[in-house]
Amino acid sequence: MIIPVILCGGAGTRLWPLSRKNYPKQFLPLLSENQTLFQAALIRANKISEKNSLIICNQDNRFLAAEQIKTLGIDWAEILLEPVSRNTGPAITLASLKVLSEEKISDAILVVMPADHFIENDIEFEKSIKSGIEVARTGKIVCFGVPPIRPETGYGYIKKGNKLQNSKDETYEIAKFTEKPDKHIASQYIDSGDFYWNSGIFIVKASVFINEMNKHEPELVLACQLGIDNAVRDLDFIRIDADSFAQSKNISVDYAIMECTDKAVMIPMSSGWNDVGSWSALWQLKKESQNGNVCVGDIITDEATNSYLHSTSRLIAAVGINDLVVVETKDAVLVSSKDKVQNVKNIVNKLIEENRNEQHSHREVYRPWGKYDSVDIGERYQVKRITVKPREKLSVQMHHHRAEHWIVVRGTAKVTIGKKTVLLSENQSTYIPLGEVHALENPGVIPLEIIEVQSGSYLGEDDIIRFEDRYGRLET
């Protein structure tokens, strides 16, 4: 049995301000208007094996993943929720243990793929995967090396060793792994002809992976096993036990076993792979317009060259610039030279240190019932534009520190305040006093839009006591 495993836990900090903790790059349509990187990975997984995919996802992004799966018309993907981020080592361990616990098939083969990578040539990708599956059947742990085309400092590298004997295709032992070298060393690697970019794609029997992890990281396996044993099903998700999983080490699969095991091999993969790890990578991948610029959104240029310009909500006018990245969102603007975009993560770290909202959320926030846009905020007040999808409902809730006014601007609202329920249409409004239990629902067939005006001493999203919620969000 072949089981694709899609890893969705990445934060994509180097693509800030578009990619953020609560809306990371894998769920963004960065290279296609109609498809996200995650959805492209789902389609590749479907070609490898229908109705067997396993998705490892951060619990904060569970509704994004479920919605994008639903949009593709897919109903066969199983979603494991990581309660905390613990890197690829524990994530693949969870997948392996889950497969072994349910299927009891010792030779089930996992094809592990990150959700946030780009593959240009699907035919070559599928050929490489088929070769890797055959090698994995022999008990090897297969990773894929991408022939480097430039001295990239944002990728890990694999040095190939001796060619594997009796191998039908090019399969090599691994001499060593190197994590993100500087430009001088990366240039030496390319000149040698012995190094490949580490694609982060693996193929391995579930039983082989767990056996190797037990040799090198037994405590990690124990923590993950307890997480699986104490997991609970929540709607379309499987929630891994938080207390157990939190005890697992935060470690990549490369450090956990690939650098230690004698079973690791590498297969070269020429499929136009890119990890879309920076704005300069997007500039290289997108179709260039005049003067070497990539323009996304409302852009006007004059004597601008070789730049990446991305607007989401307003006009960007660029005059006389060269080799720059300018990215605009509703609440932040990034300006960087193209050769320094790897340092965007340093900006994100500063935002985290200052506990700023811009590091984890956009002004427009998506929820399973719809979305809201924080239009304005000041001392003791906040204004939001809320959109509720047809037939969806917000939780039954109350707030300790704020009152709310709702004005309907489109559609019909079913409003419950205390024991009273009323229908409100366009231009009608209502008031929810502080401490009153209330709910909002869209009973209609078109989206409901309301303007919400909050007032009070504290307006944070954690001031929500949920009494009933159809999406299982009673933990707040």
192-223: per-residue pLDDT in tens? 989 999 999 999 999 999 999 999 999 999 99
Q: What is the mean pLDDT of residues 404-430?
A: 96
Asked if 167 and 132 touch (Cβ cutoff 8 Å), the reply is no
Terminal-to-terminal C-alpha distance of the chain: 39
Task: Give yes or no for a contact between 331 and 348, defined as CB atoms under 8 angstroms apart.
Answer: no
| CA dihedral of 449, 455, 457, 463, whole degrees rounded to 10 | -20
Q: What pLDDT is attached to residue 155?
A: 86
> Where in the sequence is the domain holding 304, given as residue range(s)?
288-344
CB atoms within 10 A of CB 349: 12
Q: How many CB atoms lie within 10 A of CB 317?
A: 12
CATH number, residue 390: 2.60.120.10
Q: Is residue 349 part of a domain?
A: no
Task: Identify the domain boundary among 228, 243, 274.
Answer: 274
The answer, as to whether pTM is greater than 0.75, is yes
Bridge partners of residue 299, in order along the sequence: 316
Write the burial class of residue 314 (CB in 10 Å: 0-12 exposed, 13-18 middle, 19+ buried): exposed
Q: What Å distances lie between residue 96 and 4, 90, 100, 224, 260, CA to CA?
A: 11, 10, 6, 10, 19
Percent with pLDDT over 70 in the chain? 98
Residue 473 covered by a domain: no
Is 267:144 a contact under the CB 8 Å cutoff?
A: yes
Cβ neighbours of 191 (radius 10 Å): 10
Asked whether residue 330 carries a pLDDT value surpassing 80, the answer given is yes
Task: Identify whether 443 is preceded by a cis peptide bond (ω within 30 of 0).
Answer: no
Above pLDDT 90, what percent of the chain?
74
pLDDT at 465 over 80: yes
* pLDDT surpasses 70 at 7: yes
For residues 133 and 184, state if they share a domain: yes
| Residue that finishes a domain, picked among 344, 372, 387 | 344
Residues 296 and 386 in one domain: no
Q: Are residues 252 and 168 both part of a single domain?
A: yes
Average pLDDT, stretch 18-35?
A: 91
Average pLDDT over residues 234-246: 89
Q: What is the mean pLDDT of residues 180-184?
A: 87
279 inside domain: no
Q: Does one domain contain both 269 and 418?
A: no
Indicate whether 9 and 122 sit together in one domain: yes
- Which H or E element spans position 80? strand 78-82
CA-nearest of 133, 116, 270 to 204 is 133
User: Is 453 a domain residue?
Assistant: yes
Q: For residue 476, is it within any domain?
A: no
For residue 475, being part of any structural domain is answered with no
pLDDT at 106: 59
Looking at the structure, tell me whether residues 30 and 105 fall in a common domain.
yes
User: Is 129 within the bounds of a domain?
Assistant: yes
Same domain? For 163 and 212 the reply is yes
Return the pLDDT at 118: 94
Which tens digit of pLDDT belongs to each residue from 100-143? 987 656 579 999 999 999 999 999 999 999 999 999 999 999 99
List CB contacts of 119: < 8 A, sequence separation 6 or more: 40, 44, 125, 271, 272, 273
Same domain, 316 and 203: no
User: Mean pLDDT across the stretch 268-285?
Assistant: 92
CA dihedral 251, 255, 256, 258 (to 10 degrees): 140
Same domain, 242 and 310: no
Q: Using pLDDT thresholds of 50, 70 and 90, give the confidence band for residue 410.
A: very high
Exposed e or buried b for every residue in 352-369, given b needs 16+ CB within 10 A? eeeeebbbbbbbbebbbb
| pLDDT on residue 252 | 92
The per-residue DSSP string of 393-457 comes to BPPEEE-SSEEEEEEEEES-EEEEETTEEEEE-TT-EEEE-TT--EEEE--SSS-EEEEEEEEES
**Mean pLDDT calculated for residue range 160-186:** 85
Asked if 90 contacts 220 with a C-beta cutoff of 8 angstroms, the reply is yes
Question: Is the distance from CB of 9 to CB of 59 less than 8 angstroms?
Answer: no
- Eight-state DSSP code of residue 258: I
Please check the confidence at residue 319 and state whether its pLDDT lies above 90.
yes
CATH, residue 207 = 3.90.550.10
Read off the amino acid at residue 287.
Answer: K
Q: Among the three residues 274, 297, 325, which one is the final residue of a domain in this structure? A: 274
Query: Does residue 315 lie within any of the structural domains?
Result: yes
DSSP string, 128-141: HHHHHHHHHTTT-E
SS3 103: helix
Average pLDDT over residues 303-314: 95
Q: Are residues 326 and 414 in the same domain?
A: no
pLDDT for the residue numbered 475: 53
Residues 396 and 266 in one domain: no
pLDDT by residue (tens digit) across 50-95?
A: 777 899 999 889 889 988 998 888 877 789 999 988 899 999 999 9
Q: Is the pLDDT of residue 389 over 50?
A: yes
Based on the domain organization, do 306 and 395 belong to the same domain? no
Residue 279, exposed/middle/buried by CB under 10 A (0-12, 13-18, 19+)? buried
User: What is residue 251's predicted lDDT score, i.e. its pLDDT?
Assistant: 93
- Going by pLDDT thresholds of 50, 70 and 90, the confidence category of residue 472 is confident
Lowest mean pLDDT among 56-65, 221-230, 393-402, 451-460: 56-65
Name the pLDDT band for 476 (thresholds 50, 70, 90). Answer: very low
Tally the domains of the chain. 3
